């Protein structure tokens, strides 16, 4: 065999090995993806059977936000910055409803 024929054979074998390997990897990833989707859908079906409680909206007669909601918002912001030990000193001056 000549060197050119030997090179062509090595080229064809190399391409066959590479594309076979890529095909095996693609098929295995696709199969794993399908298995994961089935498992995820099964857990979502279990989760959807439990109906969440719907909170009743707070009826406000004016555009002003009630004091207890303002206090809850300020407390949540303060608690967040207390846990992060931030040196952020700010004052909530106005809360508007969108």
Cβ neighbour number for residue 89 with a 10 Å cutoff: 6
Residue 37 within a domain: yes
Position 68 in a domain? no
State residue 45's pLDDT score: 65
CA distances from 27 to 18, 21, 22, 40 (A): 14, 10, 9, 20
Per-residue pLDDT of the chain (98 residues; tens, 9 = 90+): 789 999 999 999 999 999 999 999 999 999 999 998 888 877 776 655 556 667 676 665 666 777 888 888 888 877 777 766 666 666 666 666 65
* pLDDT reported for residue 60: 53
Residue 69 lies in a domain: no
Is 85 domain-assigned? no
Q: Residue 96 domain-assigned?
A: no
- Total structural domains within the chain: 1
Please answer whether residues 81 and 88 qualify as being in contact, where contact means their C-beta atoms are separated by less than 8 angstroms: yes
State which residues form the domain around 15.
Answer: 1-49
pTM, whole model, 2 decimals? 0.41
In a domain, residue 44? The reply is yes
Within a domain: residue 5? yes
Q: Supply the pLDDT for residue 56.
A: 72
């Amino acid at each position: 065999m000549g060197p050119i024929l030997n090179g062509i054979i090595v080229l064809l074998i190399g391409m066959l090995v590479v594309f076979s390997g890529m095909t095996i990897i693609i098929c295995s990833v696709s199969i794993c993806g399908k298995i994961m989707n089935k498992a995820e859908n099964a857990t979502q079906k279990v989760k959807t059977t439990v109906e969440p409680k719907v909170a009743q909206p707070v009826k406000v007669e004016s555009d002003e936000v009630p004091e207890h909601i303002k206090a809850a918002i300020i407390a949540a912001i303060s608690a967040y910055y207390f846990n992060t030990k931030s040196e952020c000193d700010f004052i909530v001056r106005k809360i508007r409803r969108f």
